[in-house]
Amino acid sequence: MAVVGTLASLIAAGVGQDRTVNAGGLPLVGDFFAAALRPRLDADFLALTANATLTTLGYAVLGTALSLVLGLVGGVLASQTWWRSATRRRRGIRMAGWGMTRTALVVPRGIHEVVWGLFFLSVIGIEPIVAVLAIGIPFGAVTAKVFSEILDETPQRPYTALLAAGSGRGAAMLYGLLPPALPDMLSYSFYRFECAIRSAAILGLLGVGGLGYELSLSFQALLYQEIWTLLYALILLCGAADLWSSAVRARRMAPRRPGSRTSRVVIGSLLAAIALLPISAWIVQLDLSVLGEAGTRELTVQMLGDSWPPDLPSGGWTELLQLAAGTLAMSVLAIALAFLGAVVLAFPAARMSRAGGSPAGRAARLLMIAATRGLLLVLRAIPPPVWALLFLFVLFPGILPGALALGVYTLGVLGRLMAESAENLDDRPLQALRAQGAAALQVFCYGVVPAATPRFVAYGLYRWEVTIRETVVVGVVGAGGLGLLLDQQLATFDYGGAVATLLVFLGLTLLVDLTSAAVRRSLHT
């Protein structure tokens, strides 16, 4: 099925049928990568880059904080555990409450942060709160879903014991369920922070400031040396966040002892994150008063009035469905490229235990791990719109450049997830194979690959769900699909048309989510 879908998507992209390559753009790509060796490093531009980096970091910190507040409240209310505590006579009310909460999370989760950013820009203007809300709302909905699943999978005995002793649901949740669930929730929170940095850079392309905004200005003037200085800053910022997140996750998995380094690392990280909140608000000059201004309220009411009823584009349903099919094909091609590339790079990037070996061999393995992880970091640190613009230099506009841009970016994310999954494999079966005299290749083929495949497929399906939403990002820069139509509609204040496009987009994301869930269920049967 995956092969058929990929082939159909290649046909939809016009590969082998239409003229896709623009050879005239090759010198531009060559100039772009040549500039990587000579970025702009004068004091004035480095100061500008540092300021933009701090702005991007500030947006990420504040957006993550908002998402965690929304995610914690929504996660509790969306968990089956919270509603399960109701009496049997109120079963209908309980199920209705749980269903309404889960349904309420679908729309904010299904709309990409770029769309939220475009909406808030229309009603608030270029203000720092735009980036914070655009990150916090969709990330909060995603976090709520994940937190609810963590709470439901946490051992329930302390929670039910407190309920039986007469505690209220809130107290029982606070003292009986949240403490054991906190490590997993904290680990996921740092992962969301990594994602927020990349999202903050993408939102900067809309004009809210930060590294993304400076990148857009430099790209418009084709100042490649400036672009690489900004990209290096973004790569370093993402790398620092990755190291911080990895350190927290590693310490959480280590055996806990009173006063151990595990506790110090986690508690210190938590305190540092809290301290970053006021600093970030000061850096970006966050002003919450704009939310209550009369102009903001009037524009919001006017936009909502203009948005309903939804209005079809000039091409009607035919145009919408054709663009939806193109968007789906874009996501399939992107995830196919990312999955194949991630499978190839995951094992070289994984720090898997290997017995024996000479010092030179161990040094070579460490060098390979560092090089592969560095490559994956670069691929995921560079925002998809930047990749899309590069591919649009050498490819004609359409599905293909968008698919390649998303594929390269997703390869960086998926490769890291797969590498960490490979590192976490149970080593005992592999040691048993080695003890029986199996060669390294046999251990890999018969021990590592079968154990890693289900996790790899699960991660691939998860990233496909994310990729279908991220097609909006490359559409904004002209790479095709529903995202391009949506950007044009918002630019011309066609809010009724934008709502119609969003509804089709939500239906498409729901289709992908259901397909992904069905495939995951089949893997467990």
Specify the CATH number of the domain 314-524. 1.10.3720.10
CA distances from 256 to 184, 187, 250, 439 (A): 15, 15, 12, 36
**Taking Cα atoms as reference points, which of 135, 349, 377 lies closest to residue 240?**
377
Task: Determine how many CB atoms are found less than 10 A away from the CB of residue 6.
Answer: 18
Q: Residue 47 class from Cβ within 10 Å (0-12 exposed, 13-18 middle, 19+ buried)?
A: exposed
Give per-residue pLDDT as tens, 215-263. 989 988 889 999 999 999 999 999 998 888 777 766 665 555 544 545 6
Angle at 417 between CA 251 and CA 179, to 5 degrees: 40
**pLDDT value at residue 259:** 47
Q: Which two tokens stand for residue 269?
A: 């990280």
Task: Determine how many CB atoms are found less than 10 A away from the CB of residue 382.
Answer: 23
Angle at 362 between CA 361 and CA 364, to 5 degrees: 65
Find the mean pLDDT for residues 186-200.
Answer: 86
**CATH top-level class of 1-15+48-254+262-303:** mainly alpha
pTM of the model: 0.85
Angle between helices 224-253 and 178-203 (to 10 degrees): 180
Taken in order 401, 405, 406, 410, the sign of the CA dihedral is: positive
CA distances from 11 to 14, 16, 515 (A): 5, 8, 21
Q: Which two tokens stand for residue 309?
A: 């009823």
Q: How far apart are CA 9 and CA 468, in angstroms?
A: 14
Give per-residue pLDDT as tens, 60-111. 999 999 999 999 988 888 887 777 655 555 666 666 666 777 777 878 888 8
Angle at 312 between CA 310 and CA 314, to 5 degrees: 150
Q: Beta partners for 395?
A: 21
- DSSP state for residue 494 in the 8-state scheme: -
CB 419 within 8 A of CB 452: no
**pLDDT value at residue 132:** 94
Span(s) in the chain for CATH 1.10.3720.10: 1-15+48-254+262-303, 314-524
Give per-residue pLDDT as tens, 13-23. 556 566 777 77
Task: Determine how many CB atoms are found less than 10 A away from the CB of residue 237.
Answer: 21
CA distances from 336 to 6, 9, 387, 421 (A): 7, 10, 17, 19
- DSSP state for residue 21 in the 8-state scheme: B
